Structure 1
Amino acid sequence: MPPTLASLVQHPALKLVVRAGADRLGTPVRWAHASELADPVPYMDGGELLLVTATNLDAENPEAMRRYVRRLAGAGVAGVGFAVGVNYEDVPEALVAAAEEAGLPLLEVPRRTPFLAISKAVSAAIAADQYRAVTAGFEAQRELTKAALAGDGPTGLLARLAAHVNGWAALYDSSGAVLAAAPEWAARRAAGLTSDVERLRGRAAPSSIVAGHQ
């Protein structure tokens, strides 16, 4: 799984403290980005943990913080990490209240935790998740190849494929007819996709199509 705000809070070296949005710590974090812009939204893609020291913010102004936080929440920012001991000794209550009101997670970043450490933790977690996905893909390929060479037949092969995708799989012929499906209950669902398979007949494709669904 990709990193989440919860996994960052639980990271022993970061020592982050939840100040708002404790019920949304399961939010995935796509990246950690530091910005002191009064309005960083035009440069956000969504899913970022925004790291700030409030150099250019009036973080004790309730109305200014409501506008700021609402903009971030509307842009899909995963959360805000506020560094204390730089421009403010504590996280301003105006920011805490605005984050609670908008449902945006707010994490207190202690002065001894550099933003770079948070960025590295997020990057390492993303890399580890990608490595697990690639490794799982190669393992699935090896297992399916082994099953095919062992002569398990279409049903056995599809059963292994369905297990790997945690769903169901079906084998169609070029006319769109279902030749095999796994698990057994998937045969009816696979038959419901016959019209979609028929639409693919005009495209260059092998004589049979294997489809897997979660």
Structure 2
Amino acid sequence: MSRSNLHLEVVVAGDSESVDAPISWVHSTELADPTPYLVGGELILLTGLDMADDKANEKQRQYARRLVKADVRGIGFGIGVKHPSIPEWLVEQCGHYGLPLFSVPAPTPFIAITKEVSRGLTDERQRGFAHLYNDQRQLMRSVHSLYPVSSIVSKLAEIVGGWATLINPAGTVIASSHRFLPVQIGSLGDALTFSVLGEAKFVNVRGYDVAVFHVASPGGDTLGYLIVGRKGLTGSLDHTPVAAAAALLSLAISRSSDANRVLSRLRALMVRRCLEGREKSVRPYAHDLWDGMPAEPLCAMRLVGDMSALEAAQHLVEPFRKSMVKNLNPVVFGMVEDDLWVIVSQSNASEWINQLSRDGSVVLGISSGSTWLDMARARHEAYQAAAEAKTTGAATLQYGQGSGAGALENLVEPSLLRAFADLKLAPLRNVTFNLSTGPHTGQERNDDAGTLSIGAIDVLRTWIEARGKLEEAAFKLEIHRHTMSKYMAQIAKLLSVDLKDPGTVAELWFACRYSRTR
């Protein structure tokens, strides 16, 4: 309201809360007690026709107090009609209760004040509509982004001046505006229990005004819960954009999940081609899938872990998100057989390794330097490095740099090695050799407890440890060379193998090493 145009003069400024509070309407009344006819937020205009100049009567002693209790915003007193100035007792009352009071000169009609306030209310309402429209437009733009769910959540937090997070029905965070929230999700308790579709609940936790909106699909299925908070008392959070965001999320989640599945399948297909060395067939689509291709020389990485950890790692290399690593070459990535494969420029490899292994929930196998044409070799190196890292407990491993690099036991599951040994040596399982008379079964050995005997598998192991030299093996077993030769011929016949074949001997060595009879 413009005091310069209306020539108003403030007599009592009032409390700051009363001055800043919005005016709902202007009401002219000469009643000693107008409060029964007020709803709150009004500006009272009067000329004091029934008011004394020097001393308030019985009804007028609590005049200002009653108006304050009725949530009146202030008093405009018209002078020059009955009173040449505002009665002192009214000034004292308004000052005591913090009620704003201003004088209205006789030339200024009350209707002019009413019109001025009305215009102000209209302008304020229009500003509110404009602000609401702007908020809605920003949220709608987020729907059309590549990742609408996270974009809507982040934009909503910006609009309300606080934070926002979306959780699924199991309580897992799907998207959040902040990495760490000031309120624990578990502390919301009953606010996350909904009985009515589309219901909203409001709580105040640790000084934050929090709204929880139930996000449901058009078919009525629960998709999750939108939780938004802002520092302040209950009611300080604007619920209108939160409700709009909840409605948009119900549509975006379904659409986003379908689009992400298609994009993931395309990336998986294309990264597989890259790993096979067919980069030329992928390059025309690289800008849409990964924002381009990394520059040679390259480095291939295999990431192993549970699916949630791999999805979190994939978010770091997304070209359309704000990555923690800035200004790097594009990254080719995709899921292949439940592993996340990442191909980066070798100049940036160390930065990406640091970021991808930071939380310790994934295992990285890293290849040596490579070109696109040689990517099949890099894929093999990254695969082997990740397998060894997983069995040795290392978080990351560069191919060829592990303490046991290339050891078969570091690359094959121990249970599989034992199973291989059991099957390979099964024909020898119950065969023993009498050190003086020749081969016997285990039952025959038990019948003659005084006979010195040895298992066929131990004979084979001794021969392999002697690198196939009969004399050395016979010496260790304290038998004759010809007896040792006879035993080895019997073993070869039982196993149906050629002991002169180095590949066969290598297999038998690992079988003996992991045999359960060892």
Note whether the superposition's TM-score is higher than 0.5.
yes
Aligned partner (choices 122, 125, 132) of residue 130 of structure 1: 125
Aligned partner (choices 57, 65, 74) of residue 70 of structure 1: 65
In terms of mean alpha carbon deviation, does 62-71 or 93-102 score higher?
A: 62-71
Aligned partner (choices 36, 41, 45) of residue 39 of structure 2: 45
Instruction: State the match for 2:224 in structure 1.
Output: 208
- Quick check: 1:84–1:91 contact (8 Å CA) kept in 2? yes
Instruction: State the match for 2:86 in structure 1.
Output: 91
Residues 181-212 of structure 1, C-alpha deviations (whole Å, 9 max, x = no match): 21333374445336412x11x32240233343
- Cα 1:57/1:175, change in 2 over 3 Å: farther
Alignment of 1:19 onto 2:11: yes
In terms of mean alpha carbon deviation, does 64-73 or 136-145 score higher?
A: 64-73
In the alignment, the residues of structure 2 paired with residue 159 and residue 11 of structure 1 have an alpha-carbon distance, to the nearest angstrom, of: 42
The amino acid that maps onto 2:85 is D
In terms of mean alpha carbon deviation, does 64-73 or 156-165 score higher?
A: 64-73
- Quick check: 1:181–1:190 contact (8 Å CA) kept in 2? no
- Quick check: 2:14–2:94 contact (8 Å CA) kept in 1? no
Alignment of 1:35 onto 2:23: no
Instruction: State the match for 1:4 in structure 2.
Output: none
Which secondary structure state, in structure 1, belongs to the residue aligned with residue 44 of structure 2? strand
- Cα 1:21/1:142, change in 2 over 3 Å: closer
Aligned partner (choices 144, 150, 158) of residue 149 of structure 1: 144
- Scaled by the length of structure 1, what TM-score is found? 0.84
Alignment of 1:54 onto 2:70: no
- Quick check: 1:178–1:191 contact (8 Å CA) kept in 2? no
The amino acid that maps onto 1:13 is N
- Quick check: 1:41–1:75 contact (8 Å CA) kept in 2? yes
- Cα 1:26/1:143, change in 2 over 3 Å: closer
In the alignment, the residues of structure 2 paired with residue 149 and residue 191 of structure 1 have an alpha-carbon distance, to the nearest angstrom, of: 32
- 5+ residue gaps, structure 1: 1-7
Q: 1:22: how far off?
A: 4.5
- Cα 1:161/1:191, change in 2 over 3 Å: farther
- Cα 1:194/1:98, change in 2 over 3 Å: closer
In the alignment, the residues of structure 2 paired with residue 155 and residue 27 of structure 1 have an alpha-carbon distance, to the nearest angstrom, of: 36
In the alignment, the residues of structure 1 paired with residue 106 and residue 100 of structure 2 have an alpha-carbon distance, to the nearest angstrom, of: 19
In the alignment, the residues of structure 2 paired with residue 67 and residue 32 of structure 1 have an alpha-carbon distance, to the nearest angstrom, of: 21
In terms of mean alpha carbon deviation, does 28-37 or 180-189 score higher?
A: 180-189
The amino acid that maps onto 2:93 is A
- 5+ residue gaps, structure 2: 199-215, 217-222, 231-518
Aligned residue pairs, count: 204
Instruction: State the match for 1:3 in structure 2.
Output: none
In the alignment, the residues of structure 1 paired with residue 149 and residue 183 of structure 2 have an alpha-carbon distance, to the nearest angstrom, of: 17
- Quick check: 1:31–1:47 contact (8 Å CA) kept in 2? yes
- Scaled by the length of structure 2, what TM-score is found? 0.37
Percent identity reads: 32
The amino acid that maps onto 1:209 is Y
- Cα 1:194/1:23, change in 2 over 3 Å: closer
- Quick check: 1:21–1:99 contact (8 Å CA) kept in 2? no
Instruction: State the match for 2:314 in structure 1.
Output: none
- Quick check: 1:20–1:106 contact (8 Å CA) kept in 2? yes
Which secondary structure state, in structure 2, belongs to the residue aligned with residue 146 of structure 1? helix
- Quick check: 2:14–2:95 contact (8 Å CA) kept in 1? no
Residues 98-124 of structure 1, C-alpha deviations (whole Å, 9 max, x = no match): 211222111111112211111112122
Alignment of 1:173 onto 2:176: no
